């Protein structure tokens, strides 16, 4: 097999037998396609005991959730594999292990994390993983620091920036985050009941200027090798463990984009809480989400500062006092990007189950409006929200 072809379940098993690295690969007998994402085929490969042992993920030449009318580069499989490998090198505790990458079939064979749960599913079920926010903060601080100018030699940094150009996947982000929601576009998707909120957003010229500023930062700030799609559906958790998957949007971009995506998804769940849970559970879940955001940001800043202090190599950047200025700017970006995530997930192409699975229609619409409102407020008030605590206070004042 060398010419690209999309795998059937049988082919996925045969492929896994060759490339699993397992001691006894002949035990692998059955595959199940479990892809629930928007883009790719994902096979779980089971052994004779019916235990899933390994994952085979293959890129499709089009956007899965739209169809063949929207072609998409297969090269994203390379970017996913290389981003995960790069991140694993510095943060193996929190990055899924890539076992094999095939540049002809655009296939990644990787560690099976079926003993974990997708964080979003846990959040929607009202579960709290008390260590997750801290571990995510550690992951982001580590992988972003080791791919930043604080650490890398300037030649190596530029080499990596070139290797991780990801123009087609970036264009999806550029469109979905910064264009579509702010204009009429066929990709947008929202119920007529929230039309008023959508129009108010599009009539807000201050907001559009602030979003333009965020888009320009996304275009041209190669600060670090981002995951690029770090929402709660790209994160596996179990008690004491957190592992990141699905890095096909990886590229060198502004650190606040990853932080904002992660925080934005906790806030989306916050906005859905009243519709997802009974009253006491909603109160508790909301407090936990805000607590998680505070922990994520404080862990990120502490860990990043320690890494700069002990492993930073650029003398000028590592001068006393600079890292705190740098982190203040990252925080401002983070709030803005979190705001764009809240907005695009409420009215754009790709929604989140935290809002869309709310069965009561009025509650669902109210949650979508809350997310749009909060998104706008975050984007417009980055200057007055100074840290995680003040973000919590700001969100609580909003609702
Ligand atoms: P996409 O890029 O299409 O979004 P993902 O990488 O997010 O694909 O995978 C889709 C789903 O497949 C995940 O939500 C998860 O349920 C399952 N999955 C992906 N990787 C693994 C893994 N390493 N172990 C177990 N399940 C996985
Ligand atoms: Mg995914
Ligand atoms: Mg996806
Ligand atoms: Mg993906």
Q: What ipTM describes this predicted complex? A: 0.97
Q: Which ligand is nearest to the CA of 96?
A: 1
Distance separating alpha carbons of residues 364 and 358, to the nearest angstrom: 5
* pTM higher than 0.95: yes
Binding positions for substrate are 229, 344
The answer to whether 327 and 306 have CB atoms below 8 angstroms apart is no
- pLDDT, one tens digit per residue, over 340-360 is 999 999 999 999 999 999 999
- The residue written with tokens 């079926």 in the block is 114
pLDDT over 70 for what percent of the chain? 99
Distance separating alpha carbons of residues 182 and 203, to the nearest angstrom: 9
How much distance in Å is there from the Cα of 11 to the middle of ligand 4? 22
pLDDT band at 67 (very low <50, low <70, confident <90, very high): confident
Q: What is the pLDDT of residue 21?
A: 92
**Axis-axis angle for helices 205-219, 255-276 (nearest 10):** 130
- Range 117-398: architecture per CATH: Alpha-Beta Complex (3.90)
How much distance in Å is there from the Cα of 33 to the middle of ligand 2? 14
Distance separating alpha carbons of residues 271 and 372, to the nearest angstrom: 10
The answer to whether 153 and 313 have CB atoms below 8 angstroms apart is yes
How much distance in Å is there from the Cα of 160 to the middle of ligand 2? 24
- Looking at the chain, the domain(s) classified CATH 3.90.1200.10 span 117-398
pLDDT band at 137 (very low <50, low <70, confident <90, very high): very high
How much distance in Å is there from the Cα of 40 to the middle of ligand 2? 8
Q: To test ligand 1's pocket by mutation, which of 42, 118, 231, 261 has the most ligand atoms within 8 angstroms of CB?
A: 42
Binding positions for ATP are 40, 57, 111-113, 246-248
Is residue 69 pLDDT above 60, yes or no?
A: yes
- pLDDT, one tens digit per residue, over 81-120 is 999 999 999 999 999 999 999 999 999 999 999 999 999 9
- pLDDT, one tens digit per residue, over 237-252 is 999 999 999 999 999 9
The answer to whether 83 and 250 have CB atoms below 8 angstroms apart is yes
What is the CB < 6 Å shell around ligand 1?
34-40, 42, 55, 57, 96, 110-114, 118, 233-234, 245-246, 248
Instruction: Please give all residues whose CB falls under 5 A of ion ligand 4, grouped by chain where several chains appear.
Output: 37, 246, 248
pLDDT band at 285 (very low <50, low <70, confident <90, very high): very high
Q: Which ligand is nearest to the CA of 169?
A: 4
CATH of 9-111 among 3.30.200.20, 3.30.1330.60, 3.40.30.10, 3.40.190.10: 3.30.200.20
The DSSP symbol for 93 reads G
- Looking at the chain, the domain(s) classified CATH 3.30.200.20 span 9-111
Q: Which ligand is nearest to the CA of 349?
A: 3
Distance separating alpha carbons of residues 69 and 342, to the nearest angstrom: 27
């Amino acid at each position: 097999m060398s010419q690209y072809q999309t795998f059937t379940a049988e082919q996925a098993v045969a492929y896994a037998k060759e490339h699993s690295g397992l001691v006894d690969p002949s035990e692998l007998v059955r595959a199940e396609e479990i892809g629930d994402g928007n883009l790719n085929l994902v096979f779980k490969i089971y052994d004779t005991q019916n235990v899933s042992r390994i994952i085979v993920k293959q890129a499709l030449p089009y956007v899965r959730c739209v169809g063949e009318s929207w072609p998409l580069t297969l090269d994203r499989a390379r970017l996913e594999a290389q981003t995960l490998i790069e991140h694993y090198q510095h943060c193996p505790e929190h990055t899924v292990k890539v076992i094999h990458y095939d540049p002809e079939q655009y296939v990644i064979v990787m560690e099976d994390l079926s003993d974990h749960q997708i964080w979003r599913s846990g959040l929607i079920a009202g579960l709290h993983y008390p260590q997750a926010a801290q571990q995510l903060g550690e992951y982001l601080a580590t992988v972003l620091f080791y791919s930043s100018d604080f650490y890398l030699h300037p030649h190596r940094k530029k080499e990596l920036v070139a290797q991780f150009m990801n123009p087609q996947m970036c264009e999806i982000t550029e469109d979905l985050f910064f264009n579509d929601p702010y204009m009429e576009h066929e990709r947008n998707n929202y119920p007529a009941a929230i039309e008023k909120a959508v129009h108010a957003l599009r009539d807000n010229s201050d907001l559009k200027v602030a979003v333009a500023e965020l888009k320009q930062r996304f275009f041209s700030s190669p600060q670090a090798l981002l995951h690029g799609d770090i929402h709660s559906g790209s994160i596996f958790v179990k008690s004491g463990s957190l592992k990141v998957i699905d890095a096909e949007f990886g590229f060198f971009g502004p650190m606040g984009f990853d932080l904002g995506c992660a925080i934005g998804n906790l806030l989306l769940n916050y906005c859905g809480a009243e519709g997802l849970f009974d009253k006491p559970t909603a109160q508790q879940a909301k407090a936990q989400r805000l607590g998680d955001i505070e922990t994520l940001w404080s862990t990120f800043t502490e860990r990043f500062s320690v890494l700069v202090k002990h492993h930073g190599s650029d003398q000028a950047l590592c001068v006393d006092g600079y890292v705190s200025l740098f982190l203040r700017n990252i925080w401002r970006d983070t709030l803005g990007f979190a705001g764009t995530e809240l907005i695009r997930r409420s009215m754009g192409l790709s929604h989140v189950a935290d809002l869309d699975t709310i069965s009561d229609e009025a509650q669902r619409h109210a949650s979508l409006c809350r997310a749009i409102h909060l998104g706008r407020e975050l984007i417009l008030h980055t200057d007055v929200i100074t840290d995680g605590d003040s973000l919590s206070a700001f969100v609580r004042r909003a609702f």
